[in-house]
Structure 1
Amino acid sequence: MTERSWREDNAIRLLENGEEFFPAVFDDIRAAQQEVIIETFIWWEDAIGRALRQVLEEAAARGVKVDITVDGHGSALLNKGFIQPLTDAGGRVHVFGPMAPKFGKHPNLLHRLHRKIVVIDGAIAYIGGINFSDAHMRYYGPESKQDYAARVQGPVVEDIRRFCYQAIGESARPRRRRLTDMFRRVPSEWLNPRAAAQVLFITRDNTRHRHDIETMYLMALRAAERDVVIMNSYFYPSYRFLRAMRQAVQRGVRLRLILQGNPDKQYVKFASRTLYDYLIGIGVEVWEYQERPSHAKVAVVDDHWATVGSSNLDPFSLALNLEANIVVRDHAFNRTLRASLDHVQTQHSRRVTRADVMHRHPLWHLWRTISFHLLRYLPKLIRLIPVKSMRVATIARAQEDLGPGDRKIGHAEQKLNRLP
């Protein structure tokens, strides 16, 4: 984490679900004058996906530099015809892990670009867990996701922007100054001390920053004095994370976990439930969110610390996927996020009690112990499996613009068409 540090005087706003997130992002893209950078795990060809393509195409057509990076597995259903209007307008689509399937399976299934980031004109950034798909909208139905993101303005945006350019193999170019910059006033929210948030941008990769996100969680748990609320969709943390939770409870900290009670993937619920008797035994409050699937990756500690991002608390996010979070020191943001989590807990969640986990067969406890240690060492075992390097291939123009030397681009384009 030496390359980045806490940035002061940021303005940050919490966005809950697609109903708040998508209109804000699309409006900011429509107002973009210089550049739009996006990283997303999923980009679907649905109403939200088409709306994103349209605003990006319009931005590229008026001369805005547009770069969108998708994961080769999460966005496997994209095809050339869908993205071609954007590339024809001058936008670029980057594919992380551009590999054709082997025997019907994606070779790098367990090595994924899981980040969700938007940067606009080097002045505004979005970060959180929301993908570009209808699944984050209420009209999607019972399977729509509960999730969060944050809109940030201030010095930390340049850290995020620089990182996104490095991810596609470029250096961040100096932002051009416009004549209106000379007369632009500081945003009014920056003049309010409550909005002057300290923000730290953190990522996890498989080289130098393997444990940065987990380390920030651990530091927060160890410093907690009164109250911790964690809402996480895939919860199966490391042993040291569980130990930090136990030590926090022993100090008198109230620790609440809001986990999935109505998941879209049943194995998620099963995995988390293997830890329930241990968590309840050490004094952690376990709540299951019942209204719909949860996709949230957020937490608040006491009255000043919070985090929002893409990282789950399971072996894949903590030890394999490429993730990004922000950590926020700000009382106002903490209160807003805490109020939302309190509402989710009290209105839409059920507390798991000791009676729910008491009368289990001894074989259950044996399975729990075996599965915990298997999942604990799973990332190390997966790293032994040889995979191709996690490169990014770029689709810069339509097919007719591709020359015989553009094998990387052609491979990515072929891949987008071939994946099921």
Structure 2
Amino acid sequence: MNRPWVDGNRVALLINGEQYYPRVFEAMAQAREEILLETFIIYDDKVGQQLQQVLIAAARRGVRVELVADGYGAADLPDTYIAAMTEAGIRFHAFDPQPRLAGMRTNLFRRLHRKIVVIDGKLAFIGGINYSADHLDDYGPMAKQDYAVEVEGPVVAQVHAVSRRLMAPVLDPPSQVRPVTEPAGPASAVLVERDNGRRRIDIEVRYLEAFRAARQRIVVANAYFFPGYRLLRELRNAARRGVEVTLILQGQPDLRWVRALSRLLYNYLLRDGVRIHEYCQRPLHGKVALVDDEWSTVGSSNLDPLSLSFNLEANLLIRDRAFNQLLYEHLTSLASEQCKAVTLERMIRGYWWRAPLIFLCFHLIRHFPRIAGWLPAHRQRLQSLQPDVEAPRDLHEGHT
């Protein structure tokens, strides 16, 4: 069952680490009762160290700090980094840590990929930005282009409940914070998640609903674009009925095979009028979209098989004309000033040898959700990394 939209929220767009880190660290520094934090990646660099310092300061003044980092994304954190936090009273939990095989990380699928922070049950941050210096301009040409939102209002109760449910096996005692429900702004919003339980296709379904309802414009900026057949079909159908459909995809990828896969889909979309722009300034890591002049989404979910069929993801959906217009102006500027337009003429060169690959890819993505369901699902668990390390706890132990 879909969560309800709730009115009365203030939503602020945060672009890249330059806007995100000062706001989230300031909010953590002002926390009085509780900080719940979920992330895919933490690095022991200048951003990770600033996170460590602000959380230690919060814990020392009596704030309950619960941190969950993915066992794959945070596998390289040194023990000294974690020990400094746990000794200060921070409860540091690893999501499904797995042993290495020949020095390689083996836990590739069904990762905790979402990035959520909830402060005192009244302020939340949702997006795609990890805690690593590669989200800052001064990192260099491989600095990531990414997005998050700061949200205040009744929808924070949904975000708090989702994080609390994930952490339930290790929350002892349970969280006593009551989320604030007073109105804080004009936006309607709802948190949408993808899990490996009852909400396996919620994010994809919400995208499909929005694309089908589009009448004027669709703009999608997504890092890893290899969606299922239904999403591709709705984008094509929207363009056919006169909707201006614009995709902003990776032109300078951090993973080259990602762009290669995405480009196999270009002909299918370009033939029906979808506009495709490749962002070439630096790697695009964003996961944002807008439809017409009101609906927008910002979150952690890519439009690829890992996000749509395996990983734990979270997106905030927003209905607010001012936010939509701000995001539209930013993405339009990105497309016109920092992207290269992809033309059908350019893509049909060499089509004869790519045609068999395109045929195979279409059929793969058309049936991928069913294929993914055949793959064995490991037991998701949290392992608390306290000074005396506790036994792993199954995520579904003691709650539903």
TM-score range normalised by the length of the shorter chain: over 0.9
Structure 2: distance between partners of 1:387 and 1:155:
34
Structure 2: distance between partners of 1:61 and 1:320:
37
Report the Cα offset of residue 408 of structure 1: 3.0
Work out whether residues 316 and 379 of structure 1, in 8 Å CA contact, stay in contact via their aligned partners in 2: no
Work out whether residues 231 and 297 of structure 1, in 8 Å CA contact, stay in contact via their aligned partners in 2: yes
Structure-1-length-normalised TM-score = 0.89
Residue 398 of structure 2 is matched in structure 1 by: none
Structure 2: distance between partners of 1:62 and 1:379:
47
Matched, 1:348 2:350: no
Residue 204 of structure 2 is matched in structure 1 by: 214
Structure 2: distance between partners of 1:338 and 1:28:
27
Superimposed CA distance per residue, residues 67-125 of structure 1 (whole angstroms, 9 cap, x where no aligned partner): 11111111110122111111111111111112212343433212211000011011100
Residue 136 of structure 1 is matched in structure 2 by: 135
Report the Cα offset of residue 318 of structure 1: 0.6
Residue 251 of structure 1 is matched in structure 2 by: 241
Work out whether residues 124 and 150 of structure 2, in 8 Å CA contact, stay in contact via their aligned partners in 1: yes
Matched, 1:328 2:318: yes
Q: Which stretch of structure 1 is more off in the superposition, 77-86 or 196-205?
A: 77-86
Superimposed CA distance per residue, residues 379-408 of structure 1 (whole angstroms, 9 cap, x where no aligned partner): 54455444530111112x32xx45xxx333
Structure 2: distance between partners of 1:298 and 1:407:
38
Residue 49 of structure 1 is matched in structure 2 by: 48
Q: Which stretch of structure 1 is more off in the superposition, 358-367 or 217-226?
A: 358-367
Residue 397 of structure 2 is matched in structure 1 by: none
- SS class of match (2:392): helix
Residue 413 of structure 1 is matched in structure 2 by: none
* Letter of the structure 2 residue corresponding to residue 372 of structure 1: F
What does 1:10-409 align with in structure 2 at a 5 Å threshold?
10-169=9-168, 173-175=175-177, 190=184, 195-378=185-368, 380-386=370-376, 388-395=378-385, 397-398=386-387, 401-402=388-389, 406-408=390-392
Structure 2: distance between partners of 1:102 and 1:60:
35
- The alignment covers a number of residue pairs equal to 389
Superimposed CA distance per residue, residues 221-260 of structure 1 (whole angstroms, 9 cap, x where no aligned partner): 1111111110000111111111111221122100000000
- SS class of match (1:235): coil
Structure 2: distance between partners of 1:378 and 1:111:
15
Structure 2: distance between partners of 1:54 and 1:46:
12
Work out whether residues 138 and 144 of structure 1, in 8 Å CA contact, stay in contact via their aligned partners in 2: yes
Q: 1:125 to 1:22 in 2, by over 3 A?
A: same
Report the Cα offset of residue 281 of structure 1: 0.3
Structure 2: distance between partners of 1:122 and 1:69:
17
Superimposed CA distance per residue, residues 358-393 of structure 1 (whole angstroms, 9 cap, x where no aligned partner): 222422110121133335545544554445301111
Structure-2-length-normalised TM-score = 0.93
* Letter of the structure 2 residue corresponding to residue 14 of structure 1: L
Structure 1 gap ranges (5+): 410-420
Structure 1: distance between partners of 2:355 and 2:253:
23
Structure 2: distance between partners of 1:295 and 1:49:
18
Work out whether residues 219 and 246 of structure 2, in 8 Å CA contact, stay in contact via their aligned partners in 1: yes
Report the Cα offset of residue 176 of structure 1: 6.6
Structure 1: distance between partners of 2:289 and 2:392:
40
Structure 2: distance between partners of 1:58 and 1:127:
23
Q: Which stretch of structure 1 is more off in the superposition, 300-309 or 104-113?
A: 104-113
Structure 2: distance between partners of 1:279 and 1:337:
23
* Letter of the structure 2 residue corresponding to residue 368 of structure 1: I
